[in-house]
């Protein structure tokens, strides 16, 4: 049974946050540090000052509730009992929408569906483009979903809970879109439920290992540059990943106790992973507030990394690719870019689009481009048109 | 010659009030209510001072240090260098033992500095203040105290810093060095052919095997902090500066997992952590050493340091990285090596008696580094008849 849900942060929580912000203590900063050592002090002071006086959570809360119809329902997960899952759910405005499950990552949330939902559900004025029924889940431990209490809730479980949500909503067949951790979850869905339930999947992050007979001398210049960027990311940008994957609880005390610490932790990624996206302070603070006010608290979401790393499902573990058709959208500032020769390890790529702007948070940074790709992929004349029985996105 | 000023730790009430205010907001106030920050005892046990020290290419830094002379005038001057998440407090237990004078063992004059950015030393403000700079500060401090010839003891960052001291100031100033954290590299056949072959053909001892396993585990599960601190120390720093609870967790995790079941009392832990919380430069400053090390010219080439002065090593089984014993020769001119059956990373704090025994043996009358500082061999000087 689904329950309608409205975000309603208690006034106790709001005033507790205010007290913490008011007693915020800042570190110093090295001269001319810029972004080299992490988030610059000036950015933090400005954001915290806005958070203290000016940022109106109640207003943001209301906007979110008005724009995004939200629900919760209990989903059974094998071995973990019932979890109460929060999700956004909007049906298409006309015709039979293609059921699309949108899966966010970290430090994202259901919020990342905000800009693409109106485009996906309304279509453009042009009746040639398909429309979608959109389900944007809050993964367990994120947003307003419950978190698992037992150890071992790993990729398989995120896959299971996401799939079961679609089934519970009456969509025995559906398609998916995912980036960041959402890309891993939707790949898992494609593997386990592909064919019978998941009919096609789209992602903006491709990752696989090189094939056996790989020939690096055949890489194009942009492929080489993409791999170099991935290496640089591992060298200088993956500290968070190492920590999340090994000691999420130790870090969690900071994230749960200090809104300033949490803000820095997330804001660093919002800026460094996006393509010069002009974040407004309120946008950033809304994003971070979702973590601060999350049902399970900010320490819960990062356990995802630990569980995946310790369950034999770490990135780079060999596994057979899903066989259902997939599409990908390549944005220049994405963290990972693999050469085309590695694609067979990812899946059956039937649609590919490359863009000259946009980064890791594609749905938030370039909603029109991303939705444009989904319309091309799933629309009339596209490679997976009509892939969901009886729901082709048109009248 | 800069002026030495006596120093007592004295935290302003406003800072204590702010800490209490923050702790009141946490969800588990019971455990932290009586923080027991007892700096009066610290001030009693450790005679402390501050002094301005110049650093080539950087600003003058005001350095905090512990300094206690032995009652024996020709005691061996010893510089003790801590690491992270350590501090000057790590000298607390070995200090009274080292300064003791006896015909059975040598005495030491002890200097334990707070590295820049730690404890009550100023932190550098310019980027690029790397381990070589930390070494220069420590060396200049010894010189300014009149110790032109001295020996060193260090673990963690103290290992790297005293190794640099041994390389740059060794022979003329630093006469011998001792470490409990020998970060060895595999042997090179062209450099140490005999040892290389010995290592190839000698089976590992049980201790070496256990150590290698431990090192692998540390590499796989225990290096997240290193990775973050060496790439984005400022981002992490906001948490450490703003949240005493976050800082506590960050440091306590190491105190617990890097020691050999050391029975930390809550007050011990909290004293240790509050040194970081109330540090002069703030808790975010201390971790910058990781970033500066990785980004320095020698961060990727630590083997470019080749100290030749005598080296002593003490092996404690629960140290973080344990390498085959033969590799230790790659660290320096190994003249003294001891194996222990208990103890971990914070050797001076966990096993003060053992560590001091090792230093007494290394520098004692029968030891390989006896008399290495001319005129200061740590023993009562016999009155010689005028010939």
- ipTM field: 0.93
Contact (Cβ atoms closer than 8 angstroms) between residue A35 and residue A272 = yes
Reported as a pLDDT band with limits 50, 70 and 90, residue A372 is very high
Q: Do B235 and A264 touch (CB under 8 A)?
A: yes
- Interface-testing mutation among B218, B230, B235, with chain A (most A C-beta atoms within 10 A): B235
Q: What integer pLDDT is reported at residue A129 of this predicted model?
A: 93
Q: Do B228 and A236 touch (CB under 8 A)?
A: no
Q: In this complex, how many residue pairs, one in chain A and one in chain B, have their CB atoms less than 8 Å apart? A: 151
Contact (Cβ atoms closer than 8 angstroms) between residue B134 and residue B115 = yes
Instruction: Indicate whether B377 belongs to any domain.
Output: no
Instruction: Indicate whether B386 belongs to any domain.
Output: no
Residues with Cβ < 8 Å from B77, sequence gap 6 or more? Answer: B108, B109, B111, B142, B147, B149, B150, B151, B373, B376
B220 to chain A, closest Cα gap in Å: 8
For chain B (387 residues), the mean pLDDT of every run of 10, in chain order, is: 82 86 67 54 94 96 98 97 98 98 98 98 97 97 98 97 96 98 80 79 85 90 96 98 96 97 95 95 97 83 79 94 84 94 97 98 98 97 62
Reported as a pLDDT band with limits 50, 70 and 90, residue A157 is very high
Q: What integer pLDDT is reported at residue A395 of this predicted model?
A: 79
Q: What integer pLDDT is reported at residue B13 of this predicted model?
A: 87
Count of beta carbons in the 10 Å neighbourhood of residue B193: 11
Q: What integer pLDDT is reported at residue B4 of this predicted model?
A: 86
Instruction: Indicate whether B120 belongs to any domain.
Output: yes
Q: Which CATH number does the domain housing residue B313 bear?
A: 3.40.50.1820
Structure tokens given for B157: 């960052």
Q: What integer pLDDT is reported at residue B6 of this predicted model?
A: 87
Of B22, B123, B235, nearest to A39 by CB-CB distance is B235
User: Looking at beta carbons, which residues of chain A come within 8 Å of B273?
Assistant: none
Lowest mean pLDDT, pick from A117-131, A306-320, B169-183, B221-235: A306-320
Q: Do A243 and B227 touch (CB under 8 A)?
A: yes
Instruction: Indicate whether B182 belongs to any domain.
Output: yes
Tell me how far CA of residue B298 lies from CA of A74, A150, B132, B304, in angstroms: 56, 45, 9, 7
Residues with Cβ < 8 Å from B157, sequence gap 6 or more? Answer: B81, B82, B83, B84, B115, B131, B134, B289
Q: Do A265 and B239 touch (CB under 8 A)?
A: yes
Q: Is A307 exposed, middle or buried (0-12, 13-18, 19+ CB in 10 A)?
A: buried
Contact (Cβ atoms closer than 8 angstroms) between residue A352 and residue A328 = yes
A104 tagged catalytic: no
Q: Which residue has the higher pLDDT, B108 or A312?
A: B108
Tell me how far CA of residue B207 lies from CA of A254, A311, B159, B288, in angstroms: 37, 30, 22, 34
Q: Which residue has the higher pLDDT, A223 or A114?
A: A114
Q: Is B387 exposed, middle or buried (0-12, 13-18, 19+ CB in 10 A)?
A: exposed
Q: Which residues of B are catalytic?
A: 156, 290, 345
Whether the bond between B85 and the residue before it is cis, its omega within 30 degrees of 0, is: yes
Domain extent at residue B21:
5-27+37-363
User: Looking at beta carbons, which residues of chain B come within 8 Å of A306?
Assistant: none
Q: What integer pLDDT is reported at residue B300 of this predicted model?
A: 54
A360 tagged catalytic: yes
Lowest mean pLDDT, pick from A91-95, A139-143, B55-59, B237-241: A91-95
User: Looking at beta carbons, which residues of chain A come within 8 Å of B253?
Assistant: 247, 250
- Residue range A353-379: average pLDDT? 97
Residues with Cβ < 8 Å from A187, sequence gap 6 or more? Answer: A178, A201, A203, A322, A346, A347
Lowest mean pLDDT, pick from A356-360, A361-365, B299-303: B299-303
Q: What integer pLDDT is reported at residue A265 of this predicted model?
A: 98
Of A40, A243, A258, nearest to B228 by CB-CB distance is A243
Instruction: Indicate whether B179 belongs to any domain.
Output: yes
Of A24, A37, A260, nearest to B232 by CB-CB distance is A37
Please count the residues of chain B. 387
Domain count, chain B: 1
Q: Is A239's pLDDT higher than 50? A: yes
Q: Which residue of A has its CA nearest to B287?
A: A37
CA distance A324 to A196: 10
Reported as a pLDDT band with limits 50, 70 and 90, residue A355 is very high
Q: What integer pLDDT is reported at residue B299 of this predicted model?
A: 66
Of A19, A23, A255, nearest to B18 by CB-CB distance is A23
Q: What integer pLDDT is reported at residue B33 of this predicted model?
A: 41
Q: Which residue of B has its CA nearest to A24?
A: B242
Q: Which residue of B has its CA nearest to A240?
A: B228
Instruction: Indicate whether B370 belongs to any domain.
Output: no
CA A341 distance to own-chain centroid: 26
CA distance B45 to A228: 54
Reported as a pLDDT band with limits 50, 70 and 90, residue A187 is very high
Q: What integer pLDDT is reported at residue B194 of this predicted model?
A: 81
Q: Tokens 């975010």 appear where?
A: B284
Q: What integer pLDDT is reported at residue B297 of this predicted model?
A: 79
Q: Do B237 and A27 touch (CB under 8 A)?
A: yes
Reported as a pLDDT band with limits 50, 70 and 90, residue A320 is confident
Instruction: Indicate whether B376 belongs to any domain.
Output: no
Handedness of CA A115, A116, A117, A123 (dihedral sign): positive
For chain B, the straight-line distance linking the first and the last C-alpha, in angstroms and rounded, comes to 38
CA distance A271 to A291: 17
Count of beta carbons in the 10 Å neighbourhood of residue A304: 26
Instruction: Indicate whether B373 belongs to any domain.
Output: no
């Amino acid at each position: 049974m689904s329950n309608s849900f409205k975000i309603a942060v208690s006034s106790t929580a709001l005033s507790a946050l205010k007290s913490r912000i008011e007693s915020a203590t800042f570190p110093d900063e090295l001269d001319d540090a810029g972004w080299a050592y992490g988030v610059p002090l000036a950015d933090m002071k400005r954001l915290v000052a806005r958070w203290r006086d000016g940022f109106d959570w109640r207003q943001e809360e209301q906007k979110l509730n008005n724009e995004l119809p939200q629900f919760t329902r209990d989903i059974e997960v094998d071995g973990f009992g019932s979890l109460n899952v929060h999700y956004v759910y909007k049906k298409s405005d006309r015709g039979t929408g293609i059921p699309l499950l949108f899966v966010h990552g970290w430090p994202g949330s259901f919020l990342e569906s905000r800009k693409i939902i109106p485009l996906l559900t309304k279509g453009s004025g042009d009746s040639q483009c398909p429309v979608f029924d959109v389900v944007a889940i809050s993964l367990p431990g994120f947003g307003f979903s419950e978190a698992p209490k037992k150890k071992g809730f790993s990729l398989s479980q995120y896959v299971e809970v996401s799939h079961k949500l679609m089934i519970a909503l009456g969509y025995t067949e559906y398609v998916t879109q995912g980036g960041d951790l959402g890309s891993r979850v939707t790949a898992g869905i494609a593997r386990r439920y592909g064919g019978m339930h998941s009919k096609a999947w789209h992602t903006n992050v491709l990752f696989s290992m090189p094939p056996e007979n790989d020939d690096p001398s055949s890489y194009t210049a942009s492929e080489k540059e993409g791999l170099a960027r991935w290496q640089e990311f591992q060298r200088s940008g993956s500290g968070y990943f190492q920590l999340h994957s090994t000691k999420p609880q130790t870090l969690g005390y900071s994230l749960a106790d200090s809104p300033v610490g949490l803000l820095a932790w997330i804001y660093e990624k919002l800026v460094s992973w996006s393509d010069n996206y002009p974040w407004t302070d309120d946008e950033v603070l809304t994003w971070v507030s979702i973590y601060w006010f999350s049902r399970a608290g900010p320490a819960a979401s990062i356990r995802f990394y630990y569980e995946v790393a310790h369950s034999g499902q770490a990135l780079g573990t060999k596994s057979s690719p899903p066989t259902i058709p997939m599409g990908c959208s390549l944005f220049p500032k994405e963290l990972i870019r693999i050469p085309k020769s590695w694609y067979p390890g990812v899946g059956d790529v039937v649609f590919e689009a490359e863009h000259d702007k946009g980064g890791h948070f594609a749905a938030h940074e370039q909603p029109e481009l991303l939705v444009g790709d989904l319309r091309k992929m799933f629309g009339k004349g596209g490679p997976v048109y009509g892939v969901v029985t009886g729901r082709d996105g048109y009248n | 010659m800069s002026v030495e000023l006596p120093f007592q730790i004295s935290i302003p009430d406003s800072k204590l009030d702010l800490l209490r205010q923050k702790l009141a907001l946490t969800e588990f106030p019971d455990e932290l209510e009586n923080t027991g920050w007892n700096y009066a005892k610290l001030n009693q046990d450790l005679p402390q001072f501050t002094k301005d020290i110049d650093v080539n290419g950087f600003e003058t830094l005001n350095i905090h240090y512990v300094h206690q002379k032995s009652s024996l005038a020709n005691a061996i001057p010893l510089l003790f260098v801590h690491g992270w998440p350590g501090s000057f407090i790590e000298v607390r237990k070995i200090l009274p033992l080292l300064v003791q004078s006896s015909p059975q063992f040598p005495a030491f004059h002890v200097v334990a500095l707070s590295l820049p950015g730690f404890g009550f030393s100023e932190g550098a403000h310019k980027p690029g203040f790397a381990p070589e700079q930390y070494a220069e500060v420590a060396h200049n401090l010894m010189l300014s105290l009149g110790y032109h010839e001295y020996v060193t003891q260090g673990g963690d960052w103290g290992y790297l810093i005293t190794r640099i001291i041994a390389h740059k100031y060794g022979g003329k100033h630093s006469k011998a060095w001792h470490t409990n954290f020998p970060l060895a590299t595999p042997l090179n056949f062209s450099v140490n052919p005999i040892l290389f072959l010995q290592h190839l053909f000698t089976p590992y001892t049980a201790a070496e095997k256990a150590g290698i396993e431990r090192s692998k585990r540390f590499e796989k599960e225990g290096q997240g902090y290193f990775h973050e601190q060496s790439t984005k120390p400022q981002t992490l720093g906001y948490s450490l500066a703003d949240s005493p609870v976050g800082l506590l967790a960050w440091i306590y995790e190491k105190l617990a997992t890097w020691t050999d079941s050391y029975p930390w009392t809550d007050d011990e832990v909290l004293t240790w952590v509050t040194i970081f919380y109330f540090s002069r430069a703030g808790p975010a400053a201390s971790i910058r050493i990781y970033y500066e090390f990785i980004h320095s010219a020698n961060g990727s080439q630590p083997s470019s340091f080749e100290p030749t002065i005598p080296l002593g090593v003490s092996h404690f089984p629960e140290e973080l990285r344990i390498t085959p014993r033969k590799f230790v020769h790659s660290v320096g001119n190994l003249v003294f090596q001891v194996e222990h059956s208990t103890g971990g990373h914070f050797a001076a704090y966990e096993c003060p008696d053992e560590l001091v025994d090792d230093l007494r043996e290394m520098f004692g009358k029968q030891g390989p580094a006896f008399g290495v500082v001319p005129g200061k061999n740590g023993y009562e000087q016999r009155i010689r008849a005028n010939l």
